[in-house]
């Protein structure tokens, strides 16, 4: 008996090694995705837990929803992309001017 562990991947053929690597990568991506979804749910719970107290807070909520909406669509329509970008730009500009005034 030896103290050195046997590296099973070295004893498999290239196809089996590739399949094993693909399974490992899929599992890692699945775990990362589950973590991302959990963090997104936490963000949404915090973001929408209470009513907005100011226009910039309301704009932040609307911005988040628009970004989610745009991401959920295939957004192949450049006109729609342009409209979403314009509204997000308006939110940013108006929020910044409101912060400077306040």
Q: Would the pTM of this model clear 0.75, i.e. be above it?
A: no
Helices (H) and strands (E) in the chain, counts: 4, 0
At 6, give phi and psi (nearest 5°). -85, 125
Please name the residues in contact with 55: beta carbons below 8 A apart, sequence gap of 6 or more: 94, 95, 98
Residues 41 and 60 in one domain: no
Indicate whether 95 and 59 sit together in one domain.
yes
Collapsed DSSP state (helix, strand, coil) of residue 6:
coil
Q: Are residues 61 and 101 in the same domain?
A: yes
Q: Which two tokens stand for residue 36?
A: 């991302």
In the chain, the number of structural domains is 2
Q: Which domain holds residue 29?
A: 1-49
Indicate if 27 and 64 belong to the same structural domain.
no
- Asked whether the predicted pLDDT for residue 30 surpasses 90, the reply is yes
Mean residue pLDDT of the chain comes to 85
pLDDT in tens, 9-20: 666 788 888 888
Q: Are residues 1 and 45 in the same domain?
A: yes
CB 95 within 8 A of CB 52: no
Pair of tokens at residue 13 = 């053929």
101/58 same-domain check: yes
């Amino acid at each position: 008996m030896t103290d050195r562990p046997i590296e099973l991947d070295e004893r498999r053929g290239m196809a089996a090694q590739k399949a094993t690597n693909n399974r490992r990568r899929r599992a890692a991506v699945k775990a990362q995705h589950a973590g991302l979804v959990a963090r997104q749910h936490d963000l949404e719970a915090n973001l929408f837990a209470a009513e907005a107290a100011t226009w910039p807070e309301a704009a932040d909520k609307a911005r988040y929803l628009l970004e989610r909406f745009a991401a959920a669509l295939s957004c192949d329509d450049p006109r729609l992309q342009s409209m979403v970008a314009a509204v997000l730009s308006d939110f940013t500009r108006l929020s910044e001017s409101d912060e400077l005034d306040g």
